[in-house]
């Protein structure tokens, strides 16, 4: 018996059907191609993109207001620690621009050149975010070292402390919002941007230490805190770079693979599960899986089993929008070609 390949992009849920309904569904699969309209897939991508865009615009507004307030106080006080924090907040706000562009690109339908669509634009945005974090770390370090070499008094310490507290509150709110949304829609770039904002929040708290040291007459406290902020930025750079690089290398959570394997084993008629492969395309998952079926099944029966296995995958794995199922059969006693693997396709 020839092997079977079954591909079926999904953008909706399948309600439990009655027996006649299941029969009609199977007959429809046999006489029609196994895909929905491109519009259905684009609608699902647009919904998650809209949610991402709402998160970006709102966080951009919060961080923009925070940055303006801090910039005014930097001009009045001359605090280098607050300057580093202000620059970091500004760059964090600006990272919404490439990410927003990527989310809008992700709404475009696949075509003959980009057959998987434009979801990978989010990975490119993630690279831009990582580079932006690195640039902000370099600027913060340069400013802090310059102030250590050329000390200067800090004024308006209470205003500096208030700006630092406002920076922490704004950044922590934005961080939680971005990370929560990023994980819900499966956007590694948005999660990395949230981690960036979280670091900004803790560096804002560090500015309070510099202000306290300056109030006690310790001029070096402010630039030293600026250096500590640089270290914190480098720490989040490591986490964000790891997240983005893993996505570029097609890394997925091993628990998702285990969940997919369990779903396939639970399909009646599946005798074994071979390799399961997954990759992220933007904030949606695609999968390929190998299953073992009985040797005496007809092509139609094997195809129906592939349909059931694919549906089980779609419903078991979050964010999985398309799956390709390959079928192979168990060896037949006395068959001299039983050890050969047969892989083909039924279209």
Q: Output the domain CATH number for residue 47.
A: 1.20.1510.10
Angle at which helix 221-248 crosses helix 121-149, to 10 degrees, equals: 160
The CATH number of whichever domain residue 321 belongs to comes to 3.30.70.1350
Whether 24 is in a domain gets the answer yes
Mean residue pLDDT of the chain comes to 75
pTM (two decimals):
0.64
Same domain assignment for residues 128 and 187: yes
Residue 343 scores a pLDDT above 90: no
| Mean pLDDT value of segment 160-189 | 82
The C-alpha R_g of the chain, in whole angstroms, comes to 27
Specify the pLDDT at position 168: 84
Same domain assignment for residues 287 and 315: yes
Angle at 257 between CA 254 and CA 260, to 5 degrees: 150
Measured in degrees and rounded to the nearest 5, phi and psi for residue 296 equal -105, 10
- How far is residue 171's CA from residue 173's CA, in Å, rounded to a whole number? 5
Strand partners, 293: 329
Measured in degrees and rounded to the nearest 5, phi and psi for residue 5 equal -120, 135
228 or 325, which is more confident?
325
Token code pair at residue 276? 């399961």
Confidence label for 22 from pLDDT (cuts 50, 70 and 90): very low
pLDDT digits (tens, 9 = 90+) for 58-77: 888 888 888 888 888 888 77
The number of residues making up the chain comes to 347
pLDDT digits (tens, 9 = 90+) for 172-182: 888 888 888 88
| Mean pLDDT value of segment 130-143 | 80
List the domain range (segments joined by +) for residue 9. 4-35+252-329
Residue 48 scores a pLDDT above 90: no
| Mean pLDDT value of segment 313-334 | 83
Q: Which of 248, 280, 303 is the last residue of a domain?
A: 248
Confidence label for 276 from pLDDT (cuts 50, 70 and 90): very high
Number of structural domains in the chain = 2
- Cβ-count burial 282-307 (b if 16+ within 10 Å, e if not): bbbbbbbbbbebeeebeeeebbbbbb
Specify the pLDDT at position 30: 34
Express as a percent the part of the chain with pLDDT over 70: 75
Across 195-199, 226-230, 298-302, the highest mean pLDDT is recorded for 298-302
Name the residue among 318, 320, 261, 323 with its Cα closest to residue 292: 261
What is the side-by-side order of every strand in the sheet holding 272-281? 4-7, 320-329, 284-293, 272-281
Token code pair at residue 284? 């949606």
Specify the pLDDT at position 47: 54
Looking only at the bridges linking them, the beta strands covering 320-329 and 284-293 are parallel
Strand partners, 255: none
Same domain assignment for residues 115 and 67: yes
CA 88 to chain centre: 22
Whether 335 is in a domain gets the answer no
Express as a percent the part of the chain with pLDDT over 90: 17
Please provide the distance, in angstroms rounded to a whole number, between the alpha carbons at the two ends of the chain: 16
Residues near 195 by beta carbon (within 8 Å), at least 6 away in sequence: 175, 179, 236, 239, 240, 243
Whether 205 is in a domain gets the answer yes
Same domain assignment for residues 155 and 15: no
Angle at which helix 38-77 crosses helix 188-215, to 10 degrees, equals: 10
Q: Which helix (H) or strand (E) holds 247?
A: helix 221-248
DSSP string, 111-159: -SSSTT-STTHHHHHHHHHHHHHHHHHHHHHHHHHHHHHS------HHH
């Amino acid at each position: 018996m020839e092997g079977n390949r079954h591909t079926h992009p999904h953008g909706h849920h399948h309600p439990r059907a009655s027996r006649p309904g299941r029969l009609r569904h199977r007959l429809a699969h046999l006489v029609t191609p196994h895909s929905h309209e491109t519009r259905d897939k684009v609608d699902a991508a647009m919904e998650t993109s809209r949610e991402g865009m709402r998160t970006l615009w709102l966080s951009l507004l919060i961080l923009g207001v925070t940055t303006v307030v801090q910039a005014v106080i930097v001009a009045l006080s001359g605090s280098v620690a607050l300057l580093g924090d202000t620059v970091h907040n500004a760059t964090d706000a600006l990272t919404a621009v490439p990410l927003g562009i990527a989310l809008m690109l992700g709404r475009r339908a696949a075509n003959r050149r980009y057959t998987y669509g434009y979801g990978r634009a989010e990975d490119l945005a993630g690279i831009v975010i990582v580079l932006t974090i690195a640039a902000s770390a370099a600027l913060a370090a340069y400013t802090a070292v310059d102030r250590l070499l050329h000390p200067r008094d800090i004024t308006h310490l209470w205003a500096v402390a208030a700006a630092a507290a406002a920076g922490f509150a704004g950044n922590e709110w934005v961080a939680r919002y971005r990370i929560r949304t990023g994980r819900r829609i499966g956007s590694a770039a948005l999660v990395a941007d949230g981690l960036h904002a979280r670091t900004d929040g803790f560096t804002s708290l560090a500015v309070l230490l510099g202000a306290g040291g300056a109030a006690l007459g310790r001029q070096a406290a402010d630039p030293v805190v600026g250096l500590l902020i640089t270290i914190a930025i480098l720490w989040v750079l490591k986490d964000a770079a790891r997240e983005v690089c893993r996505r570029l290398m097609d890394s997925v959570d091993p628990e998702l693979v285990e969940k997919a394997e369990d779903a396939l084993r639970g399909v009646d008629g599946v005798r074994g599960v071979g390799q399961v492969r997954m990759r992220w395309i933007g904030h949606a998952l695609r999968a390929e899986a190998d299953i073992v079926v009985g040797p005496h099944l007809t092509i139609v029966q094997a195809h129906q089993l592939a349909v059931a296995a694919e549906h089980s995958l779609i419903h078991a794995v979050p964010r999985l929008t398309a799956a390709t199922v390959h079928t192979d059969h168990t060896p037949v006693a006395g068959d001299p070609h039983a050890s050969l693997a047969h892989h083909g396709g039924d279209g």
